[in-house]
């Protein structure tokens, strides 16, 4: 099917004047969403964990033809959701060919197209936009100007065309007009200077704006969507109230509610399907990684206001796999099986994603991260082994047993050493691993048990990854505060 190429052809097509004139962007989003609701199709494929919370609210906002804002901490898929709105746009949208702001051929708003329409009428050429081309996104920063966002008077354009500076033809359009008849997303809205917010509001409200003092009329057709950190957004004075008032819906996003959901998101987003080596990621390794993020979100040493992004477990698992890959390549093993030891090797993927509070800063990101990993291991271990009798294994270490499990050691060598620990290998059955499984899988499972015992302080382990007996220190008694002071000496009374 060939598409209409002129306005005359367009009139005779399914993009008739009657249809296209009445179909604003928000109508388009609404109508396509209604179809999707009727067919029961997934509304935002790939958005996990929001099915019962965020998605219904977005659906309502779109049905209400609202401009809306997503409030949430970093790494809560806000930009992703906003981008997914393009899937609710028509596959193709006709506009006046060559128009910078993608004018509707039946009612152009820019001067150029209006002049063109008078001159050429139905012979005007038509071009088309895909949904992706109709989405414009801007990360707000304090240095964004009216020129960036709305436009500027271009003196060179004026001189060349012999126009007055105030002539509309001399305007160099900014991002918002270029999003005309599409979706315009502003991320981190509160970082936008007050003056720019006013400009944005005027466009939303009145369809006109002043550029360098010249009033320019721009009745744009745009679906405006925003994102912000909730604390910044609600802080007094960060958002001008008329703009806030124009926000139809305010929707809160959140981190995954359960570890299972977190694992599903991480599995979807992380780069795991790599070329070459066969990969098996044990369930408990996934869980440990996910629980690091969960533990970090609870930890008081970490800044609550900035949150802990889902990108932490995603980068972490990628690094964990790489460390396991490195080991497999070096020892020419056919199978890549990550171990808990690989999680410690993935610290570079963790430390940079934690915004530390004062107490955390004092301890250092490295130390805080190790603590988080350890508590994640303890929790994951409890899920599999709570109540399991591990006395025999602990005893082996208490009797002087030692084993080194370097993360670079081959599975064969490590397995041989692990088999020497009485009572250990049979416990891996609880992880779904038995003596018939590959050495790579068996070592990973057994190491998880030892790491779990270490996380619960039942056995010891040093920096070189040598597992030993736990310190059987006498219960540490908090010294009373005064003991640190000098012994009390009664002052000799005067006189």
| Residues engaged in binding Zn ion (CB under 5 A) | 99, 103, 108, 110, 113
Would you say 99 or 144 has its CB closer to Zn ion?
A: 99
Would you say 100 or 231 has its CB closer to Zn ion?
A: 100
List Cα–Cα distances, 271 to 7, 163, 268, 392, in angstroms.
Answer: 47, 54, 8, 39
SS3 372: helix
Would you say 114 or 311 has its CB closer to Zn ion?
A: 114
Would you say 96 or 450 has its CB closer to Zn ion?
A: 96
Least separation, in Å, of the C-beta of 9 and Zn ion?
A: 19
List Cα–Cα distances, 184 to 157, 234, 384, 441, in angstroms.
Answer: 26, 22, 48, 49
Least separation, in Å, of the C-beta of 60 and Zn ion?
A: 34
Would you say 96 or 336 has its CB closer to Zn ion?
A: 96
Q: How far apart are CA 484 and CA 462, in angstroms?
A: 30
**What is the torsional sign of CA 134, 52, 379, 271?**
negative
**Nearest Cα to Cα of residue 104 among 40, 27, 37:** 27
Q: How far apart are CA 322 and CA 343, in angstroms?
A: 10
Would you say 104 or 315 has its CB closer to Zn ion?
A: 104
Q: How far apart are CA 409 and CA 328, in angstroms?
A: 9
SS3 of 174-236: the string is: CHHHHCCCEEEEEECHHHCCHHHHHHHHHHHHCCEEEECCEEEECCCCEEEEEEECHHHHHCC
- Phi–psi pair at 184, nearest 5 degrees: -115, 120
110 and 131 Cβ atoms separated by less than 8 Å: no
**Nearest Cα to Cα of residue 92 among 33, 36, 32, 149:** 32
Least separation, in Å, of the C-beta of 203 and Zn ion?
A: 17
Rounded (5°) CA angle 448-452-457: 145
Would you say 101 or 377 has its CB closer to Zn ion?
A: 101
Would you say 110 or 405 has its CB closer to Zn ion?
A: 110
SS3 of 377-443: the string is: HHHHHHHHHCCCCCHHHHHHHHCCCCEECCCCCCHHHHHHHHHCCCCCHHHHHHHCCCCCCCHHHHH
Least separation, in Å, of the C-beta of 86 and Zn ion?
A: 22
Least separation, in Å, of the C-beta of 180 and Zn ion?
A: 9
Would you say 177 or 338 has its CB closer to Zn ion?
A: 177
Least separation, in Å, of the C-beta of 236 and Zn ion?
A: 40
Least separation, in Å, of the C-beta of 111 and Zn ion?
A: 8
Least separation, in Å, of the C-beta of 100 and Zn ion?
A: 7
Least separation, in Å, of the C-beta of 22 and Zn ion?
A: 20
Least separation, in Å, of the C-beta of 171 and Zn ion?
A: 11
**Nearest Cα to Cα of residue 250 among 272, 270, 233, 269:** 233
Least separation, in Å, of the C-beta of 174 and Zn ion?
A: 15
Would you say 101 or 281 has its CB closer to Zn ion?
A: 101
Rounded (5°) CA angle 194-198-204: 140
- Phi–psi pair at 56, nearest 5 degrees: -60, -35
Joined together, the tokens standing for residue 157 give 């354009």
Would you say 127 or 264 has its CB closer to Zn ion?
A: 127
- Phi–psi pair at 36, nearest 5 degrees: -65, -35
């Amino acid at each position: 099917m060939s598409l209409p190429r002129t306005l005359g052809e367009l009139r005779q097509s399914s993009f008739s004047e009657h249809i296209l004139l009445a179909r604003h962007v928000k109508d388009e989003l609404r109508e396509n969403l209604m179809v999707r609701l009727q067919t029961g199709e997934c509304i935002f494929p790939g958005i996990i964990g929001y099915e019962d919370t965020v998605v219904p609210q977005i659906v309502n906002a779109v049905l209400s033809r609202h401009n809306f804002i997503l409030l949430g901490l970093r790494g809560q898929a806000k930009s992703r959701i906003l981008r997914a709105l393009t899937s609710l746009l028509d596959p193709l949208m006709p506009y006046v060919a060559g128009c910078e702001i993608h004018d509707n051929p039946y009612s152009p708003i820019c001067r150029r197209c209006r002049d063109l329409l008078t001159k050429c009428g139905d012979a005007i050429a038509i071009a088309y936009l895909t949904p992706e081309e109709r989405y414009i996104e801007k990360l707000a920063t304090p240095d964004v100007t009216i020129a960036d966002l709305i436009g500027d008077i271009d003196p060179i354009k004026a001189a060349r065309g012999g126009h007055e500076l105030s002539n509309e033809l001399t305007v160099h359009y900014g991002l918002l007009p270029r999003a005309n008849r599409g979706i315009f997303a502003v991320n981190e809205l509160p970082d936008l200077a007050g003056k720019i917010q006013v400009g944005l509001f005027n466009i939303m409200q009145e369809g006109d704006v002043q550029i360098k003092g010249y009033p320019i009329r721009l009745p744009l057709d745009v679906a405006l969507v925003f994102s912000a950190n909730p604390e910044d957004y609600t802080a007094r004075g960060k958002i001008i109230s008329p703009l806030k008032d124009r926000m139809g819906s305010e929707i809160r996003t959140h981190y995954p509610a359960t570890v299972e959901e977190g694992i599903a998101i991480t599995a979807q987003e992380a780069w795991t399907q790599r070329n070459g080596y066969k990969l098996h990621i044990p369930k408990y390794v996934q869980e440990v990684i996910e629980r690091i993020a969960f533990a970090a979100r609870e930890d008081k040493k970490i800044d609550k206001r900035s949150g802990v992004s889902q990108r932490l477990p995603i980068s972490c698992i990628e690094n964990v796999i790489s460390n396991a890959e490195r080991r497999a390549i070096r020892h020419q093993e056919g199978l890549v099986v990550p171990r808990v030891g690989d999680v410690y090797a993935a610290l570079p993927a963790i430390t940079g994603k934690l915004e530390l509070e004062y107490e955390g800063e004092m301890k250092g990101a490295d130390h805080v991260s190790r603590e988080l990993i350890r508590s994640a291991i303890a929790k994951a271990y409890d899920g599999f082994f709570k109540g399991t009798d591990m006395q025999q294994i602990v005893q082996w270490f208490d009797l002087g047993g030692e084993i080194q499990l370097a993360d670079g050691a081959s599975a064969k060598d490590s397995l041989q050493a692990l088999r020497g620990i009485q009572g250990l290998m049979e416990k891996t059955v609880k992880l779904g691993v038995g003596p018939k499984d590959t050495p790579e899988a068996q070592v990973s499972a057994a190491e998880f048990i030892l790491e779990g015992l270490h996380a619960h302080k039942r056995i010891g382990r040093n920096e070189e990854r040598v597992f030993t007996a736990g310190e059987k220190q006498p219960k540490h008694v908090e010294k009373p505060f005064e003991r640190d002071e000098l012994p009390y000496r009664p002052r000799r009374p005067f006189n």
